[in-house]
């Protein structure tokens, strides 16, 4: 991580003339007041996207964002201001605005502080994905995807593909003397196809990505695999009949269906809602919230994953946090503010969309560990139910615990066999008890292909999910067929 800090210094500070002594003075200016904690968050990010439709790359965008967020925390109060100018007077103004949260003078602090380097290990390349290949090659990746999709089946009438990359450099300087940095690459390739047969049109989508460079999509022809997968899904949907409605046994496939865990369990276990007592999981650590087959973790330390972080946006090293172990609720995901107020340690889940947003507890990669059952055995165990293998988005009401997620590829299970495909339907359940109905957990743990984005209080951050095949004995399926 020491290299990250050097790179961050040279990217963020050197061009502006702001020194570490200046940062110390600004933090000192805030800590003059009755403030428990303060931090400065410097960020520089470049983002680009290229999009293809009708066989051609017709447009692209590029953006640069940079700025510094200044936060002062006093008890449960937070003062926050930011500037998109890396200039000392702007930084000082923001510090004044942030510290106004506390009006009493503070204790005497010894300054200057001696900076300590933050921990954390490098989990991904510091290379800038945007510069990893020539622009012409980015266009070529999209064109190959389109050609593969079109070539697969004559019923393909439309292919839309997009390629996006982010290069982000962040640095956090905290009032306790920790200075940490992270260089975060992020790329994503997505393809959506529309197929038509006898006047009926359906679509399929696939994609993937993570914290690496664009070269990933050329390796092993991954980009082409997305094209094939999107076409396959769209063709399945051409045959889909109306989805059933009502409560039934549901088998969820491995990988991205782990969005179940993100919605049903994950958000309800974020520290802020639990400190405030507004989560359906509040005060339930140590209680059984799942069958003994279920162990669920939030792991920000997986190499190259979309949801991984070497350090979070408060400079805390990411970690692997056990949320549910053998069915028992073990703990929450924390940022520094909520950890301090709850008297526990931060878990490396303090994240923010940008310098212009306040950090809060957010998930990284949330998944269920593998169990013992063969996935075929799980499907075979169901007389009548739904087998859902792919999903769109989901949402949760954290206080009531009710969550939904919408299937985009699903099949009826009849007499132990997956039979007819059914149209997408929303599944709805109750977070605190859905995992108490998980009676079979497969041995086929998969993580999602790297496509998740989580929204909370208007802030978006990249996340991952995963799970093995699981069987839920009783979940409401929102189809139309009674």
Least distance from other proteins to the Cβ atom of residue 19, Å: 21
148: contact with other proteins by CB under 8 A: no
Give the interface segment with other proteins, choosing from 110-118, 198-206, 223-231, 460-468 (CB under 8 A).
Answer: 198-206
Whole-angstrom CA distances from 302 to 123, 209, 469, 473 are 7, 14, 21, 31
Whole-angstrom CA distances from 475 to 114, 149, 436 are 55, 35, 11
Name which of residues 151 to 180 contact other proteins (CB under 8 A).
Answer: 157-158, 160
Give the interface segment with other proteins, choosing from 73-81, 210-218, 297-305, 345-353 (CB under 8 A).
Answer: 73-81
Name which of residues 204 to 243 contact other proteins (CB under 8 A).
Answer: 243
Q: Is the dihedral of CA 333, 338, 340, 343 positive or negative?
A: negative
199: contact with other proteins by CB under 8 A: no
Name which of residues 15 to 44 contact other proteins (CB under 8 A).
Answer: none
Bridging pattern class, strands 446-447 and 459-467: antiparallel
Least distance from other proteins to the Cβ atom of residue 157, Å: 6
Count of residues of this chain found to bind other proteins when the rule CB under 8 A is applied? 81
Least distance from other proteins to the Cβ atom of residue 346, Å: 19
How is residue 260 annotated by DSSP?
A: H
The Cα–Cα gap between 310 and 41 comes to 16
Whole-angstrom CA distances from 428 to 247, 250, 401, 465 are 9, 11, 10, 18
Least distance from other proteins to the Cβ atom of residue 456, Å: 13
Whole-angstrom CA distances from 400 to 250, 280, 285, 429, 457 are 22, 6, 18, 11, 17
Least distance from other proteins to the Cβ atom of residue 80, Å: 5
- Nearest CB to other proteins, comparing residues 145 and 356: 356
Least distance from other proteins to the Cβ atom of residue 233, Å: 13
The Cα–Cα gap between 223 and 44 comes to 29
Name which of residues 42 to 61 contact other proteins (CB under 8 A).
Answer: 48, 50, 53, 56-61
- Nearest CB to other proteins, comparing residues 285 and 404: 404
Question: Site for other proteins (CB under 8 A): which residue of 4, 29, 66, 291?
Answer: 66
Whole-angstrom CA distances from 193 to 128, 231, 257 are 30, 6, 21
Question: Site for other proteins (CB under 8 A): which residue of 197, 320, 459, 476?
Answer: 476
Burial of 2 (0-12, 13-18, 19+ CB in 10 A): exposed
453: contact with other proteins by CB under 8 A: no
Give the interface segment with other proteins, choosing from 180-188, 254-262, 389-397, 440-448 (CB under 8 A).
Answer: 389-397
3-class DSSP state for residue 259? helix
- Are the CB atoms for 464 and 452 separated by under 8 Å? yes
The Cα–Cα gap between 423 and 236 comes to 10
Least distance from other proteins to the Cβ atom of residue 289, Å: 14
Least distance from other proteins to the Cβ atom of residue 465, Å: 16
Least distance from other proteins to the Cβ atom of residue 416, Å: 24
Least distance from other proteins to the Cβ atom of residue 212, Å: 22
3-class DSSP state for residue 246? strand
Q: Is the dihedral of CA 241, 242, 248, 249 positive or negative?
A: positive
Give the interface segment with other proteins, choosing from 19-27, 30-38, 301-309, 421-429 (CB under 8 A).
Answer: 421-429
Question: Site for other proteins (CB under 8 A): which residue of 89, 105, 277, 458?
Answer: 277
Name which of residues 92 to 121 contact other proteins (CB under 8 A).
Answer: 94, 97-98, 100-101
283: contact with other proteins by CB under 8 A: no
Tokens representing 364 are: 């990284």
Angle (CA) 463-447-361 rounded to 5° is 25
3-class DSSP state for residue 481? strand
Q: Which helix (H) or strand (E) holds 376?
A: helix 375-380
Least distance from other proteins to the Cβ atom of residue 201, Å: 6
- Nearest CB to other proteins, comparing residues 173 and 398: 398
Distance in angstroms between the alpha carbons of the first and the last residue of the chain: 57
201: contact with other proteins by CB under 8 A: yes
Give the interface segment with other proteins, choosing from 121-129, 379-387, 409-417, 473-481 (CB under 8 A).
Answer: 473-481
Angle (CA) 453-456-462 rounded to 5° is 20
Question: Site for other proteins (CB under 8 A): which residue of 161, 412, 425, 438?
Answer: 425
Question: What does the DSSP assignment read for 109-165?
Answer: ---SPPPEE------S----GGGTS-HHHHHHHHHHHHHHHHHH-TTEEEEEEEEEE
Question: Site for other proteins (CB under 8 A): which residue of 7, 78, 127, 320?
Answer: 78
Question: Site for other proteins (CB under 8 A): which residue of 128, 153, 377, 397?
Answer: 397
Name which of residues 353 to 372 contact other proteins (CB under 8 A).
Answer: 356, 358
């Amino acid at each position: 991580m020491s290299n990250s800090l050097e790179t961050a210094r040279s990217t963020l500070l050197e061009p502006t003339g702001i020194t570490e002594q200046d940062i110390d003075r600004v933090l000192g200016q805030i800590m003059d007041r009755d403030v428990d904690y303060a931090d400065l968050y410097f960020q520089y990010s470049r983002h680009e996207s290229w999009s293809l439709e009708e066989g051609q790359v017709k447009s692209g965008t590029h953006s640069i964002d940079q700025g510094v967020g200044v936060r002062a925390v006093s008890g449960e109060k937070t003062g926050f201001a930011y500037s998109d100018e890396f200039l000392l007077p702007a930084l000082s103004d923001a510090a004044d605005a942030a510290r106004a949260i506390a009006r009493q003078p503070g204790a005497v602090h010894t300054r200057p502080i001696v900076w300590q380097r933050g921990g954390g290990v490098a989990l991904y390349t510091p290379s800038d994905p945007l510069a990893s290949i020539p622009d012409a090659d980015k266009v070529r990746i999209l064109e190959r995807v389109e050609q593969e999709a079109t070539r697969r089946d004559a019923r393909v009438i439309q292919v839309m593909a997009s390629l996006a990359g982010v290069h982000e450099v962040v640095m956090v300087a905290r009032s306790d003397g920790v200075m940490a940095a992270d260089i975060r690459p992020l790329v994503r390739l997505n393809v959506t196809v529309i197929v038509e047969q006898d006047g009926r049109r359906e679509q399929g989508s696939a994609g993937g990505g993570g914290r690496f460079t664009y070269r990933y999509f050329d390796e092993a022809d991954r980009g082409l695999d997305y094209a094939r997968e999107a076409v396959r899904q769209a063709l399945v949907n051409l045959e889909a009949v109306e989805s059933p409605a009502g409560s039934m046994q549901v088998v969820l496939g491995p990988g991205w269906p782990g969005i179940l865990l993100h919605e049903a369990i994950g958000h309800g276990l974020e520290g802020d809602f639990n400190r405030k007592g507004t989560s359906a999981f509040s005060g339930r650590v140590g209680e059984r919230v799942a069958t003994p087959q279920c162990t669920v973790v939030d792991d920000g330390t997986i190499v190259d994953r979309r949801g991984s972080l070497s350090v979070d946006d408060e400079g805390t090293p990411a970690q692997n946090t056990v949320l549910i172990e053998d069915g028992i609720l073990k703990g929450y995901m924390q940022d520094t503010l909520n950890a301090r107020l709850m008297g526990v340690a931060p878990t490396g889940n303090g994240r923010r969309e940008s310098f212009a947003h306040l950090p809060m507890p957010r998930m990284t990669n949330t998944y269920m560990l593998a169990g013992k059952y063969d996935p075929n055995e799980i499907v075979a165990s169901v007389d009548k139910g739904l087998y859902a293998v792919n999903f769109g988005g989901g949402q949760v009401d954290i206080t009531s615990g009710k969550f939904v997620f919408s299937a985009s590829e699903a099949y009826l299970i009849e007499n132990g066999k997956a039979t007819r495909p059914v149209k997408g339907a929303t599944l709805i359940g109750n977070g605190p008890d859905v995992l108490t109905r998980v009676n079979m957990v497969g041995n086929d743990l998969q993580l999602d292909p790297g496509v998740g984005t989580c929204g909370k209080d208007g802030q978006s951050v990249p996340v991952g999910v995963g799970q093995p095949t699981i069987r839920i004995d009783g979940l409401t399926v929102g189809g139309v067929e009674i």
